[in-house]
């Protein structure tokens, strides 16, 4: 009985293997027959699938605000180059499986073409660039504060007033730099902040150390003349005063 079961199992396995081989050969035969003549429509449909994706991506590229024309031309050229490559492969394929595989590879290649860049000033500013701008800004403002504070004989009230203006401009400029989006806007915000800093004048010295300018000198001369005239007029009131 055991021997019979073993023979029966071997017969079953052999039959199963035989049927598997028949199915395999049948499938290979069917595949070969199908590949003997691949309708042109199959190849055209595959190429059209690539072309449709290229058209879709080309429209997306062209719709980018402030896109760099040179970058746009280059990336669109890469899209069409991929179509040319995989169109040739599809038309050269000898099996339907090759057509399907080349179509998938072509679609992936087209999807992997990078977006064109924007014009330099319109590209999005990176966080590193933003931090560099803030560092440059703060360094300039700190230097200005230090310069004001080390002025000899500076008037403390004037110093306090000018430092408050510097701090106000610093806060406004930092907020502007943090709010902008593009590289161009970031550069403009930094320049605006530094320009505003330059408008802050130095604090005044204490009165005793303030420089005398031409106007002050003229005012002093005028005051002396006026005092002399007033004195002469007063002296004329006294009849017995001897005028030399």
pLDDT tens digits, one per residue of 83-125:
999 999 999 998 889 999 999 999 999 999 999 998 988 988 9
Q: How many CA atoms lie within 13 A of 75 on its CB side?
A: 23
pTM (two decimals): 0.56
pLDDT tens digits, one per residue of 35-70:
557 888 999 999 999 999 999 999 999 999 999 999
Q: DSSP secondary-structure letter at 37?
A: S
Write down the domain spans for the chain. Answer: 19-120, 124-211, 214-244
């Amino acid at each position: 009985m055991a021997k019979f079961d073993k023979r029966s199992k071997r017969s079953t396995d052999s039959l199963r293997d035989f049927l598997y081989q028949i199915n395999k050969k049948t499938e290979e035969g069917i595949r070969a027959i199908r590949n003997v003549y691949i309708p042109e429509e199959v190849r055209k449909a595959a190429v059209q699938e690539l072309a449709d994706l290229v058209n879709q991506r080309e429209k997306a590229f062209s719709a980018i605000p402030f896109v760099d024309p040179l970058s746009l031309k280059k990336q669109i050229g890469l899209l069409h180059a991929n179509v040319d490559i995989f169109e040739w492969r599809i038309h050269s394929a000898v099996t339907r499986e090759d057509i399907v595989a080349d179509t998938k590879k072509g679609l992936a290649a087209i999807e992997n073409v990078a977006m064109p860049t924007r014009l330099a000033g319109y590209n999005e500013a990176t966080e590193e660039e933003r931090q560099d701008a803030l560092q440059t800004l703060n360094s300039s403002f700190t230097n200005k504060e230090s310069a004001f504070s080390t002025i000899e004989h500076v008037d403390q009230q004037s110093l306090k007033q000018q430092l408050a203006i510097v701090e106000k401009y610093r806060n406004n400029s930092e907020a502007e730099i943090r709010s902008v989006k593009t590289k161009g806007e970031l550069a403009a915000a930094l320049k605006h902040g530094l320009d505003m800093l330059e408008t802050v004048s130095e604090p005044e010295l204490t009165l005793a150390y303030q420089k005398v300018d031409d106007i002050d000198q003229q005012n002093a001369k005028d005051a002396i003349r006026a005092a002399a005239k007033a004195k002469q007029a007063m002296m004329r009131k006294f009849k017995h005063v001897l005028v030399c």
